[in-house]
Chain A
Amino acid sequence: MNSRTWAPYGFVLPFILSFLIFFAYPLFRAGMMSFQQVLPGDVQFVGLEHYSKLWNADFRAALWNSTRYTFWTLLLLVPVPMVLAVLLNSSRMMARNLFRSALFIPALTSVVVAGVVFRLIFGELDGALMNSILSVFGIPSQQWLYSSSLAMVALVVLAGWRWMGINMLYFLSALQSIPKDLYEAADIDGAGVMRKFTSITVPMLKPITIYVITITLYGGYAMFTESYMLWAGKPSPQNIGLTMVGYIYQQGFQYFNLGFGAAIGITLLVITLLISMLQLTVLGMFRKED
């Protein structure tokens, strides 16, 4: 056996092993657990019982919250970072590096710390930051974390603050790879700034845009820590902050209903898989290159 034959297998082995051990096997076990009642010293197969109980008010609340959250983060975290990246890529922009790092710094902060800080920012007392800002405009103080729509605002603002810089970085790197001569040719043809943006920048950014949409979609449905921290680890009133992963955590670990938690997890996997596939199909990822 010579090295040319085994080397490729040797090199991919670490990946295959970690994939099998840390992904495939747990996934397989989770699938199996979703048909079991898992109690210490007493594991039984219960068939489809967990799945038949799944369509309840808490699950619907979690799915609705996660979907709404994902929708708003998509709306906020794709176009805005794109425009910001274009601005920060322009040579006419002042203090580019300062803005780049300022926008990126939140990504380095722990979500836990950010959650605690945002809990104070969105406090209900008049002195809390958001309420003081509202009072400048003559709007009365709000109980941010007790109303479904206001709580969603808090969650989306937190997501925006935290992920804006990262998404912007993706777009910035993609912008660097657009050939300059395209813009030069457009200049010769007399195209304006907007025309160049819509006809060159946006189409050229499409692959990275699809990538950013995919991770934002995934991030939206996988969100847990933000809502966990915003309500200080306690359940949110009327489940306004309950997310799909939060529901898994609640059932699996807080009520020790591991089988049911696994069933929610598998359902979430199917949902995100379907939505991602749909999104990739609509955006033409599976179409053959012309």
Chain B
Amino acid sequence: MKKMQVWLGVCLLVVVMALSGCSTTKEGSGGTSEEAGSGGVTKLVFWTFVDAHQKFYESMAEQWNQDHPDQQIELEATTIPYDDMHTKLLLALQSGVGAPDLVDIEQSKFPNFMKGVPQLVDLTDLIQPELNNIVQSRVEIYSKDGKYYGIDYHVGATVMYYNRDILDQAGVNADDIKTWSDFEQAGKQVIEKTGKPMITFEGNGNWSWWPAISQQKSDQVDADNNVTVNAPINIATMKFFQKMVQEGVAAVAPGAGHDTEEYFGYMDKGSAAAVFMPFWFMNRFTDHIPDLKGKMIIRPMPAWEEGGNRSAGMGGTATSITNQSGSIELAEQFLAYAKLSKEGNIQIWKQLGFDPIRTDVWTDAAMKESNKYTDYFGDDIFDTLLEVKDEIAPVHIREKSPEVFDAVRNKAMPEIFINLKDPEQVLNDVQAELTQ
């Protein structure tokens, strides 16, 4: 009996030791970066969920090493699937071990990382001096209590992509479409002459409605984290869009979204005359809708009234630095080099095809240089962007946002666009559910 007690005691001790090993938080254990002594090379770990972002940072690290021979960086960049990466990061930050130095965080996930005490490094000092050169709303969405925690790759200005062939066939000139009501009229002409819908809307996504309400300075969540899904402007916008669907001017995108295989195939066959999506959607055209090369033109969105906003900044991914980094200062310098500098912003366009957040590079000659985007859409892309530069209202991304986005995407949108229920009723219901 006594021996058994001894054994049980030993077992218990082992378990307790193992468990205490599991749960000890190693404060300031140096994160993942480490100085490799002799060569003076600092290792920085970077996580992203977009392969192209990884390549971009790798090229910037190479450039950095050429420009800073005494501050060499060894960038260990990894691409991890979207959900996995964000989950992994949450757990690393929550548990206090295992987070990278630099990390990409997608806009709709960002509020999760602002809960409690942010475990990301305050980048205000880095960003402040550049505020006049960048689109401010692009760092505002990654802020909490007046402090900035992330820097975006792009503005995500929403533009209208028109299929010129279809418009020509219907005798419509894209430049004559100034307001949404012009758009509806043109749409009726298109459907009459070609039998094709003017535009498609997302039936299970947020990109059709959000830019449209943002254009009118409304949002799904306000600056104080209040849910505003059923604001009058939002209801009116949804009613107008639903009316266009009922008239046949608009169709619901196959696959219920603009980022689906079904939609790409549908669009490639020239089945709809237009779509409005953020600037970053260009690479879907170049990579997935090859047959429309040379046929698509980019124009500002129609305004809701004369002189109204003709764009909206949508989507985005911030790069942040975690407080577990052992080389915060170097990581900050490198981040500023890659994302805030003029050269870095030009590279963002050249390599990623995004509208960089520094607007002073939009007029740079590099923006007209031939690449796959100018080959596809023509070289006046940035002329359109410059036209709407001051018409991009900020969006509010707050703690409640991830939940609100999901409710709008998977409850409101299918009800309104697929089941054609009354938008007012649906939005009121979603609002009630989110605020109960």
Contact = CB atoms under 8 A, between A and B. Distances in A.
A13 B7 CA distance: 10
A39 B15 contact: no
A41 B262 contact: no
Contacts, number: 92
A3 B415 CA distance: 70
B94 A38 contact: yes
Given A17-B15, A256-B115, A238 B410 contact: yes
Interface string A1-45: 100011001000100110011000100000000000011111000
Interface in B221-246: none
A41 B418 contact: no
B402 A255 contact: yes
Contacts of B113: 256
Contacts of A17: 11, 14-15, 18
A233 B82 contact: yes
A239 interface: yes
Interface string B89-121: 010011000000000000001001101111100
Nearest to B93: A40
Given A238-B414, A239-B410, A125 B262 contact: yes
Contacts of A233: 82-83
Nearest to A28: B19
B15 A40 contact: no
Contact of B409 (A5, A123, A235, A253): A235
A146 B14 CA distance: 52
Contact of A41 (B14, B90, B116, B436): B116
B433 interface: yes
Contact-residue size bin, chain B (C-beta under 8 Å from the other chain) = 35 or more
Contacts of B411: 237-239
Interface in A247-266: 250, 253-256, 258
B117 A40 contact: yes
Name the residue in A13, A41, A146 with the highest tally of chain B Cβ atoms < 10 Å from its Cβ: A41
Contacts of B7: 6, 9
Contacts of A124: 254-255, 262
A282 interface: no
Given A42-B116, A236-B410, A255-B112, A1 B94 contact: no
A139 interface: no
Nearest to A43: B116
Interface in B1-37: 3-4, 7, 11, 14-15, 18-19, 22
B387 interface: no
A40 B115 contact: yes
Given A21-B19, A146-B256, A256-B112, A237 B117 contact: no
22 contacts: A6-B3, A9-B11, A17-B11, A17-B14, A20-B15, A21-B19, A39-B116, A41-B116, A123-B262, A124-B255, A234-B204, A235-B406, A235-B409, A236-B410, A237-B410, A237-B411, A250-B406, A253-B90, A254-B109, A254-B402, A255-B403, A256-B113
Given A256-B113, A256-B115, 20 more contacts: A1-B3, A5-B4, A17-B11, A17-B15, A21-B18, A38-B94, A40-B116, A41-B119, A56-B436, A125-B254, A146-B256, A234-B409, A237-B410, A237-B413, A237-B418, A238-B410, A238-B411, A250-B406, A254-B406, A255-B402
